[in-house]
Amino acid sequence: MSAAEVRVLVVEDDPVAADAHALYVGRVPGFAVAGTVHSLAGATRALERTRVDLLLLDLGLPDGHGLRFARGLRAAGHPVDVIAVTSARDLAMVRESVSLGVVQYVLKPFAFPTLRERLLRYAEFRAAAGEAAGQDDVDRAVAALRAPGPAALPKGLSAPTLDRVAALLRAAAGGLTAAGAAGAAGISRITARRYLEHLVDTGRADRTPRYGQVGRPELRYRWLAGQAGPGARRP
């Protein structure tokens, strides 16, 4: 690790997710993993032992809520920045995060491009130094932290249909085949498969082959945000 690199502490109770997040961080130029811990107690010890510039902080941890931890850091005057990582979609929690100075709020599950974009924007904001010449300079510095607009969908895909297919997949505890998604969404099997494959490509779903008696195996798609459906989300 060089002194110029942004040192990131990954705080995530799920070991598989923690390893994935650390791998993502390590792939972004200018960032290095300072450590991986699975609790707030572990985060406290890590912050005492080593220099950390940025926390990639899960909010639902076994020994407390990440926002309460962030509030304590602010009260103690700790300079570390925070990117909140959570499955919670409660906008009141988002507002509280902003009030605590959380620089980004990333919803699980996310693919590498999503985190890379947030980290690069944070790096741009962090690199701003010196005195602003005027309002434009201030606006540019603040705008660096704004989330990007929605990524353009592949040609031929539409956002409303993607939302419909994603909702169907979230609600299907056992997953869906392209044929099943097509019938439920009122679209062709080929079209349904394109949307399902896009969800796989963006890290929101996975696929496994289902073998029958004859012919090629059929793929079954499963939502990665939780098999209990959209109502069962962990903060």
pLDDT in tens, 42-53: 999 999 999 999
Tally helices (H) and strands (E) across the chain.
9, 10
Under a CB-based contact definition with an 8 Å cutoff, are residues 162 and 156 in contact? no
Under a CB-based contact definition with an 8 Å cutoff, are residues 108 and 82 in contact? no
**The pLDDT of residue 105 is above 70:** yes
For residues 123 and 4, the model is more confident at: 123
In degrees, rounded to 5, the angle at the alpha carbon of residue 56 between the alpha carbons of residues 93 and 232 is 50
- Is the pTM higher than 0.85? The answer reads no
**Measuring CA to CA, how many Å separate 143 from each of 39, 96, 106, 137, 154?**
32, 20, 17, 10, 27
* Packing angle of the helix pair 112-127, 15-26 (nearest 10 deg): 50
What's residue 228's pLDDT? 34
The mean pLDDT value of the chain amounts to 83
Q: Which region among 5-19, 102-116, 153-167, 214-228 has the lowest average model confidence (pLDDT)?
A: 214-228
What's residue 188's pLDDT? 95
Q: Mean of the pLDDT values across residues 147-172?
A: 81
User: Could you report the per-residue pLDDT of 59-69, keeping only the tens digit for each?
Assistant: 989 999 999 99
Structure tokens given for 59:
């909010």
Between CA 47 and CA 53 the distance in angstroms is: 10
Between CA 181 and CA 122 the distance in angstroms is: 38
Under a CB-based contact definition with an 8 Å cutoff, are residues 159 and 151 in contact? no
